[in-house]
Amino acid sequence: MKKFYTVLLSMLAFACISMSAENLGTKYTGNVTISLDPTEPIVVEQSVYLKPTGTGLSTFALYDFKLDPTMPQPMGNIVVENVTTTNVYAEGSTNFKKYVGSAEGIKLDLEGSEINASAQIEGYESIDGTLAVTINVIWHMDASTDIPIPVSFEGKKDLGELGQEYFGLVRIILDPTEPIAVPDQKVYLRAEGGTSATFGLYNFKLDPTMPFPMGDIVVPVNVATNADKSLTYTGSIDELYLTLETPNDINASATINGTETETGVLTVKIGVTWHAEGTDGIPFNVTFKGTKSGSGAVSLVKASKAKAFGTVGAINVANCNGIVKAYTLNGSLAMSQTVNGNATINMPAGIYLVVMDGTACRVVVK
365 pairs with which residues across the strands?
A: 350
The radius of gyration computed from the CA coordinates of the chain, to the nearest angstrom, equals 25
Whether the CB-CB separation of 351 and 362 falls below 8 Å is answered with yes
H helices present in the chain, as ranges? 2-10
277 pairs with which residues across the strands?
A: none
| Parts of the chain with a pLDDT under 50 | 1-22, 295-303
Tally Cβ neighbours within 10 Å of residue 72: 5
Tally Cβ neighbours within 10 Å of residue 342: 11
pLDDT digits over 181-205, tens only? 888 888 999 888 789 999 999 888 8
pLDDT at residue 7, as a whole number: 40
Tally Cβ neighbours within 10 Å of residue 133: 24
Taking Cα atoms as reference points, which of 59, 61, 27, 65 lies closest to residue 46? 65
DSSP annotation of 175 reads: S
pLDDT at residue 48, as a whole number: 93
pLDDT at residue 258, as a whole number: 96
